[in-house]
Chains A and B, each alone.
Chain A
Amino acid sequence: MNDSPLPFFAAGTDPGASFVDLLRRVAPDKVPGATAGTGTLGTEVTHGTTIVAIRYDRGVVMAGDRRATAGSLIASRRIEKVFPADDFSGVAIAGAAGPAVELVRLFQVQLEHYEKIEGEPLSLEGKANQLAGLVRANLPAAMQGFVVVPLFAGFDERRDRGRVFSYDATGGKYEEADFQATGSGGIHARNWIKAQWTQDMSRDAAVDLALRALFAAADEDSATGGPDLVRRIFPVVATIDAAGYHALEVEEIGTRAEALLGGREEGAGL
């Protein structure tokens, strides 16, 4: 079997259903964070900013603004920070954009790989733990300033409810009761959500709350992008419930954003 072009392993070295372990065996140079350098980077790297996740009665909504910054410059107006992790979960990223996007790509493959090898998907808790491992593996890079702090949310089919998990740079995983927001404008978004969130809120209300919280963050934080009505650039919003991951169409988000802004001009006081 040693001459086979396919990856076969002896019993003791088999990576099992883990794609990351497989990658470490067959292509160690492709594992993110494997080649952390020393010293500091002379230029500012691209950073993604504010992301939110909010639980509603039958699922969870995730949203992120579209701005990426490099120091005081705007690196991108259209970056996407919310991604499907698999059919029933999503991941949103804040922090150094390069490692974060790579982390999401690896996480997506990891979940699909497990599902194909084992024949059934991981539990939601299992997925959250996998992501914690990937964030932890990024710790050497985080020490040099390339911190990645994702939010993970999904629909737990066994418990029949949406769940939200946040992470810190060391890979610490914390389950949030109802909502969380992170990134540079996260504190403003979180305060807005905290004041408005109610038990058993509907999907519509949760989507609007997520948009509103991002607008509030954009008002206070220069690194968070607000709605761009001229270029039709709006936050990325996705909902996850028993029917699975669903990214909202730009038109729908635009319509909702305009309605919310209209309401604010009439005297919401912001």
Chain B
Amino acid sequence: MSMPFYVSPEQVMKDRADYARKGIARGRSLVAFSTTDGIVIVAENPSRMLNKISEIYDRIAFAGVGKYNEFEMLRIAGVRQADVKGYSFAREDVNARSLANAYAQTLGQVFTHEMKPYEVEILVAQVGERPDDDELFHILYDGTVMDEQGFTVLGGQAEAIADHLRPQVGADLDRDGAIRLGAGALALEGETLGAASLEVAFLDRRRTRRAFVRVRGDDLATVLAAG
């Protein structure tokens, strides 16, 4: 029987983290803003069918960067969790916090116990009645949860983009302004992005039940051109 070489736990964790980060950094970043009109999420995505941003529940959206099949699996599990909970109790009992915790626990488990960590970073966003009530949970590949205020950036270049955005995000930011700001921020990583290569979704504060709406096509082009 052969003995495996000893590798220190620190080294194992570092290797896993490096592996996950490298996978995530391959794709472009994603930004989300809490605005006066609701929550705006902007991502680079040339595909119209394979979404990075989607609806989880009435006032909750999901977004992921990194490996598509991995965050898609997490998205579906989240929709299932939310729908079962809403059906068993009441629609208003479904909230982003418990979902974010479930995601964090899952990603943490995978990070330490599975063959390889998930190469994803995800966002669970919930729009409130006022901008102060908005919730943005940013969850990393190892299960770290961050409760962000105002805006958040997911992806390999998150720090640089966040530094660029910080002075520009104010309390009076509206939906259209946030879409333009997001598109501009993502362009820091490469060429300027037009409506065809952007995926934009919006959690509309004023809608009574399902707040999730996609902004695309001519609507999106008009918003981008107005800047």
A→B interface (CB under 8 Å): 1, 3-8, 19, 22-23, 26-27, 30, 105-106, 109, 112-113, 116-117, 119
A30 to B73, CA, bound (A): 24
A26 to B113, CA, bound (A): 24
Closest to A16 in B: B76
Using Cβ atoms and an 8 Å threshold, which residues of chain B touch A7? 77, 80-81, 84
Q: Are B77 and A8 in contact (CB under 8 A)?
A: yes
Using Cβ atoms and an 8 Å threshold, which residues of chain A touch B79? 113, 116-117
Using Cβ atoms and an 8 Å threshold, which residues of chain A touch B83? 19, 22, 109, 112-113, 116
Q: Are B102 and A4 in contact (CB under 8 A)?
A: yes
Shortest B120–chain A CB gap in Å is 14
Shortest B90–chain A CB gap in Å is 11
A215 to B208, CA, bound (A): 33
Using Cβ atoms and an 8 Å threshold, which residues of chain A touch B101? 5
Interface size on B, residues (CB 8 A): 28
Known contacts A4-B109, A6-B78; is A22 also within 8 Å of B84 by CB? Answer: yes
A26 to B84, CA, bound (A): 8
Shortest A88–chain B CB gap in Å is 14
Binding site secondary structure of chain A: helix
Q: Are A3 and B109 in contact (CB under 8 A)?
A: yes
A3 to B77, CA, bound (A): 14
Indicate which residue in B84, B86, B87, B105 contacts A4 across the interface (CB closer than 8 Å): B105
Q: Are B87 and A30 in contact (CB under 8 A)?
A: yes
Q: Are B73 and A119 in contact (CB under 8 A)?
A: no
Interface centre among B56, B83, B109, B114 (most CB of A within 10 A): B83
Interface centre among A3, A4, A22 (most CB of B within 10 A): A4
Encode contact with A along B33-59: 1 for CB under 8 Å, 0 otherwise.
Answer: 000000000000000010100111000
Show 9 A/B contacts (Cβ-Cβ < 8 Å), sorted by A. Answer: A4-B106, A5-B106, A6-B102, A26-B84, A27-B88, A109-B87, A113-B80, A117-B76, A119-B51
Indicate which residue in A5, A19, A105, A117 contacts B105 across the interface (CB closer than 8 Å): A5
Using Cβ atoms and an 8 Å threshold, which residues of chain A touch B103? 6
Contact of B110 with A by CB under 8 A:
yes
Besides the known contacts A4-B105, A6-B102, A26-B84, 8 further A-B residue pairs in the complex with CB atoms under 8 A apart: A1-B106, A4-B109, A7-B77, A8-B73, A22-B84, A30-B88, A106-B87, A119-B49
A1 to B106, CA, bound (A): 7
Q: Are B81 and A6 in contact (CB under 8 A)?
A: yes
Interface centre among B54, B80, B81, B210 (most CB of A within 10 A): B80
Closest to B103 in A: A6
A23 to B78, CA, bound (A): 14
Shortest B41–chain A CB gap in Å is 16
Using Cβ atoms and an 8 Å threshold, which residues of chain B touch A6? 74, 77-78, 80-81, 102-103, 106
Using Cβ atoms and an 8 Å threshold, which residues of chain A touch B56? 116
